Amino acid sequence: MSEPLLEVRDLSVDIVLSRGTIHAVDGVSFALEAGAAMGLVGESGCGKSMTLRGILGLLPRTGRITGGQVLFEGKDLVKGGQRGLREVRGGGISIIFQEPMTALNPVMRVGDQIAEGPRHHLGWSRSQSRARALELMRMVGIPDPERRMRAYPHELSGGLRQRVMIAIALSSEPKLILCDEPTTALDVTIQDQILKLLLGLRRDLGVAIVFVTHDLAVIAQTCETLAVMYAGRVVETGRVEQMFREPHHPYTLGLLRSVPDFDAVRDSLEAIPGMPPDLASTFSACRFAPRCQFAQDDCLAGEVDLHEIDGGRTVACLHDDACAAAASADPVIARV
Amino acid sequence: MEFPLNATLARRLRRNDLEVLRAVDGVDLEIERGEVLGLVGESGCGKSTLGRCLVGLYEPTGGEIHFDGATLPARRDKATRRRMQMVFQDPYSSLNPRMTVRQTLTELLRVHHVVPRKEVDARCKELLDLVGLGQRSLDAYPRQFSGGQRQRVSIARALALEPDLLVADEPVSALDVSVQATVLNLLDSLRELLGLTILFIAHNMAVVRHVCDRVSVMYLGRIVETARTPDLFADPRHPYTRGLLSAVPRLTPGRVSTAVAVTGDPPSPVDIPSGCRFRSRCPIAQEICAEVDPRLERHDARPGHEAACHFAGEQRTGPVPRAESRA
């Protein structure tokens, strides 16, 4: 079996704040094959965005990787230092963000920003880079690209700005695109356009995607596999279909039960009681136990690690069978 | 009892050449007592502006608002303003950060003389009970709460004045998914308990389907379709509504069609197309659409179901999947 395109092993990221050090990412592992699409799901503060940033070393000033490896095509990006990261950021891995207005340079025309990669990173001439920028703008569906090239970001709508960001991400011919909530700030019809664009690009260019979001429905429509994060750790992984039909981790089940599903109106939505823990603390028990309906005494004995279950899935829970049974008895997604 | 509203509302935005931004441009809306009416649409459609006009935060530039049988004057008195209250989208900027919950609630209760002075404290506690917050919250500042808790404080604040109508402007959009459920369930139970009427402004169609009795869809300052919730989702008759509904991602994993639901971007609200304002993105637009602005009409739909389209209901591209009740 060929090696995965991306393998994150036990990655840990700390962020130093005035009130203490936050263990934003605490031993996260997952793997992604070439051309595949993986979702990374969780609520605010779970560490999903910081994981993406950790992969590319784009951490905040007071953040640092404190452990683990990030293997891209077999090479460890953590060990490779700034040089290794620069190489990969230019051509290999790209990233798109939630807020194009803060990610794009506001005083530079968008055409120039798209041409920047080929020009400075690949060393192309001005006219070659410009031609490539036009081509990319067409590829991402920006109408009237010759004219739009000269626009500044603030002159474009949210959807167009996001397309510009995707064009920039593609300009270096990446094998992997990291998406940090790229459609969260967009209207639903524009989100639909952008998601379909990403799916089409994936199909045509064979690029792999890691899609960070809190929206389970978006994951259902765009990703094959999924990792659910809670309090800085991965708590469940597997294929999206399996996990949605029969989640094994109580947090995954809780998330599914609290989301209003467009297709199935439920009489009432189930909230998950309580709040996520403070990531500045150290843990000596399962992090989800205080909010968990399946928790027993053994859950408080120590941290719970991911273990494998059937079908290539993993889950970090001592009572995942009970959870799966409850999920099957009252499924969120009906079996077709 | 009814609250018929006939309003032509516009907001003036002065630019170099005196362009006018008609945030709300000829809206007729009715809200029945005790119902939850959903007002949906995407950014810039005017739904928030409409909500703010209703509670009196903006003065409409045209039209009328009738409330409980009387036409509301442009300047409302305290007693009238009390009867319509609002919950805002952003739990982080809608509470005064320098006042404790107790101070916020007390100020309202005193200014409006809701209860005698000596009962104010007890009423504050009751309000917090109502929204499921403990007594300790009374002396806390907003920064000490989570987003979901702040929204509950905002709801308590809105209910302090015992309003007839609650305008909830995207009350859960800024909250995490698992917390949204708490606030939605709370609104549902309060509506039963207090006989509240709610205008629920949202862009999340799945939430609207769960919470609202009727829905009005807005586009660029106009209402393009209104129907009872099950009718809207089972039989959307306006092309924009159909596009909006088919754009919503579903929780059931499956093959998604590659065709986009609605193409292009909405036109600028200072430069609205002639005739039907949706025609530049409409898959079934004809000549008449550029000439004549369609009005909200029932055509051959079920009672209470109206759409503003010359071809309402025609050329179905496929019904929105029927909701199955999981009772």
Residue B326 to residue A265, Cβ atoms within 8 A: yes
CA B209/CA B202 separation, integer angstroms: 11
Q: Does residue B325 register a pLDDT over 60?
A: no
Specify the pLDDT at position A121: 77
Q: What is the dihedral of CA A18, A20, A21, A24, to 10 degrees?
A: -90
Q: What is the DSSP string of A77-110?
A: HHHHHHHHHHHHHHTTEEEE-S-HHHHS-TTS-H
pLDDT at site A1: 53
Find the distance separating the first CA and the last CA of chain A, reported in whole Å.
32
| Residues of chain B found within 8 Å of residue A221, distances taken between Cβ atoms | 249-250, 253-254, 256
Alpha helices in chain B (DSSP H): 47-55, 78-82, 101-111, 120-130, 147-160, 177-194, 205-211, 229-234, 239-247, 287-291
CB A307, CB A315: distance < 8 Å: yes
The Cα A172–Cα B48 span in angstroms is 41
Looking up tokens 């690029």, which residue turns up?
A207
The yes-or-no verdict on residue B319 having pLDDT over 80 is no
Q: Answer yes or no: is pLDDT of B153 > 70.
A: yes
- pLDDT on residue B7: 52
Closest CA to B193 of B228, B242, B237, B159: B159
Cα distances from A4 to residues A112, A179, B209, in angstroms, run 34, 19, 41
- What is the sign, positive or negative, of the torsion defined by CA atoms of A146, A151, A157, A163? positive
Is B249's CB within 8 Å of A254's CB?
no
| Interface residue of A262, A268, A293, A333 to substitute, partner B, most B CBs within 10 Å | A262
With beta carbons less than 8 A apart as the criterion, state whether B30 and B4 touch.
yes
pTM of the model: 0.85
Q: What does the block give as tokens for A194?
A: 């952008």
Which three-class secondary structure state does DSSP give residue B107? helix
Q: Cα separation of A105 and B49, whole Å? A: 31
pLDDT of residue B255: 61
What value does the mean pLDDT of chain A take? 90
Angle value at C-alpha A148, between A145 and A154, nearest 5 degrees: 145
Listed by number, the residues of chain B in 262-301 with a beta carbon closer than 8 Å to a beta carbon of chain A are: 262-265
Asked if A260 lies within 8 A of B206 by C-beta distance, the reply is yes
Nearest to A217 among B250, B264, B324 (CB): B250
CB contact under 8 A, A196 and B244: no
**Contact in structure between A300 and A306 (CB atoms under 8 Å):** no
pLDDT top residue among A261 and A78: A78
Q: What DSSP string describes B127-150?
A: HHHHTT--GGGGG--GGGS-HHHH
Which one-letter DSSP state was computed for residue B250? P
Which tokens belong to A316?
């970090």
Q: How far apart are CA A32 and CA A237, in angstroms?
A: 12
Interchain CB contacts (distance < 8 Å): A and B: 149
- Give the CA dihedral A124, A128, A132, A138, nearest 10 degrees: 170
Enumerate the residues of chain B whose CB falls inside 8 A of the CB of residue A231.
Answer: none
> Residue range A28-48: average pLDDT?
93
Q: Is the pLDDT of residue B291 over 80?
A: yes
Helix (H, G, I), strand (E, B) or coil at A172: coil
**DSSP secondary structure of B262-295:** S-S-PPPTTSPPSS-TTGGG-TT--HHHHH--PP
Instruction: Please indicate if any CB of chain A lies within 8 Å of the CB of B97.
Output: no
CA distance A192 to chain B (A): 5
CB-closest option in B177, B249, B258 to A255: B177
Whether B316 shows a pLDDT value over 60: the answer reads no
Tens digits of per-residue pLDDT, A208-240?
Answer: 999 999 889 999 989 999 999 999 999 999 999
What's the pLDDT tens digit per position in A248-259?
Answer: 999 999 999 888
Q: CA torsion B88→B93→B96→B97, rounded to 10°?
A: 150
Starting at the edge strand found earlier in the chain, the sheet holding B84-87 runs B84-87, B165-169, B197-202, B36-40, B214-219, B222-228, B306-307
**Residue-range domains of chain B with CATH:** 34-56+76-214 (3.40.50.300)
pLDDT bin (cut points 50, 70, 90) of residue B206 is: confident
Q: Is B303 on the interface with A (CB under 8 A)?
A: no
CB contact under 8 A, B210 and A275: no
Largest CA distance in chain B: 68
Spell out the domain ranges in chain A. 106-168, 239-329
Distance CA B127, CA A91 (A): 57
Q: Is residue B143 within 8 angstroms of chain A, CB to CB?
A: no
Whether A221 sits inside 8 A of B250 (CB atoms) is yes
pLDDT in tens, A266-282: 767 888 888 888 888 88
Q: Is A59 in contact with A141 (CB distance < 8 Å)?
A: no
